[in-house]
Amino acid sequence: MTTMKFPKRYLVVILTFLSTSVCYIERVGFSIAYTVAADAAGVNQSSKGTILSTFYYGYACSQVPGGWAAQKIGGRKVLLLSFVLWSLTCALVPLDPNRVFVMVIARLLVGVAQGFIFPSIHTVLAQWVPPHERSRSVSLTTSGMYLGAAAGMLFLPSLVKYRGPQSVFLAEAALGAMWSLLWFKYASDPPRSEHPKATAAGFGESMLPIKGSQKLKLENGGSSVRTAKIPWKKILLSLPVWAIVVNNFTFHYALYVLMNWLPTYFELGLQLSLQEMGSSKMLPYLNMFIFSNIGGVVADHLVTKRILSVTRTRKLLNTIGFIVASLALMAIPIFRTSGGAVLCSSVALGFLALGRAGFAVNHMDIAPRYAGIVMGVSNTAGTLAGIIGVDLTGKLLEAARTVDSSLSSAESWRVVFFIPGLLCIFSSLVFLLFSTGERIFD
């Protein structure tokens, strides 16, 4: 009896899924631990917003360099290096809200290190995964973010309560170290091709840029492969690239505002304790995990069965995701119960994740050879959304506090949720008008 060999590309996808899970446990963990420590130290909302947004400055700086490094050195090595860097930073830095300079430097370092992760992952996936498996592979990998966030929201408040905020940092560093060991042991660069028609479809080793019609004759990629020019001007002037960029910005504006400020909304806006909310506080992220994978499977089904073209598939899922999310976001402050807030934020984040089967996989459709580079460019925009959104929300709440000292009224929070809601409508229109599923970069 013959046993079916487990394809190596599946193992690579599972490991990238675990990497995004661990990263988002770190991000959610920091916002939970820091919120508790900062509130205990009497730090105001505007200052909290500044520290919470510092991560994204570092993250923004390393997106495009991350794509470039992944293209030149290889996504596998860059991914390992970034994990080692941020895990060490978490292990070594004390969580003290009064030592502002130390907190800022630490969050910048973690941000820079994590900025290399997604461009590296997209380079690795573009090398390993054939086109008809792309939607569900990217969706599974990115859904790790939401499972990580859900796990963080479920377990870390209790860890903070019983072991103190610093324990979160140590737990995250341990997770990062464990993942690094797994990646070092099991990940590898792709062979010539693990799949028929690989080169024609634009993946396998040929994903590294090549000049003109030059064929890959060198084993394991030679120097001629790595010296090819990256078409920066064409990438930066491309309307389909900008359609991805705009949607990445909006997706992350909504995600980062909710991720960083939902704990504050539950605690101050609805006067609820995160510990007492039990498992309901993880539902928005669990919903993202589920819907992200539904989007990936549906998209691959529509494309593989030739029900819709790649372009129409991307536009359909992107539009449904963003329009439903916009309505749910704007409804959050209307409901004044934990159930209502959890339901609305769950629908909003779930459908945003569904929309990722539109814009987020589109990098690989239009530029499979430069997936890491295009991902770096669009994720820079997503990171700027984190900087702007998280910081602006702190300032809006500080301004609202002059009117409502406890921030418990719906009015205090309305603008916070309306901004991402309106951005969702605008972005879905941009994607409908300018995106394509055709390959535009050779």
Locus of tokens 């997936």: 371
On the question of pLDDT at 201 being above 60, the answer is no
Give 328's pLDDT tier (boundaries 50, 70, 90): very high
- Residue pLDDT, tens place only, 355-412: 999 998 898 889 888 877 888 889 889 888 888 998 899 889 888 888 777 777 778 8
List the alpha helices (DSSP H) in 193-238.
198-201, 223-226, 232-236
Does residue 269 or residue 318 have the better pLDDT? 318
Q: CA 396 to CA 415: how far, in whole Å?
A: 8
Amino acid occupying residue 252: H
Q: What is the pLDDT of residue 183?
A: 94
Give the single-character DSSP code of 405. Answer: T
Instruction: Check: pTM over 0.85? Answer yes or no.
Output: no
Helices 100-115, 45-61: crossing angle, 10 deg rounding: 40
- Whole-angstrom Cα Rg for the chain: 21
- Of 317 and 145, the structure prediction assigns the larger pLDDT to 317
- As a whole number, mean pLDDT of residues 104-128 equals 89
SS3 for 214?
A: coil
Residue 56 sits at φ, ψ, to 5 deg, of -75, -25
pLDDT at 45 over 50: yes
In angstroms, the CA 116 to CA 21 distance is 15
- Going by C-alpha positions, the residue among 105, 30, 14 that lies closest to residue 260 is 30
Mean pLDDT score of the chain = 84
| Tokens 């997503």 -> residue | 382
Name the region of 74 (left: φ>0; alpha: ψ -120 to 50; beta: rest): left
Greater pLDDT, 123 or 224: 123
**Contact predicate 120/16, CB 8 Å:** no
Q: What is the mean pLDDT of residues 184-189?
A: 86
Domains in the chain (CATH in brackets) are: 9-192+231-434 (1.20.1250.20)
Res 409: pLDDT: 78
- Tokens read off for 342: 């959890």
pLDDT value for 283: 87
- Mean pLDDT along residues 45-57: 84
Out of 61-65, 370-374, 430-434, least confident range: 370-374
Q: What is the DSSP letter of 221?
A: -
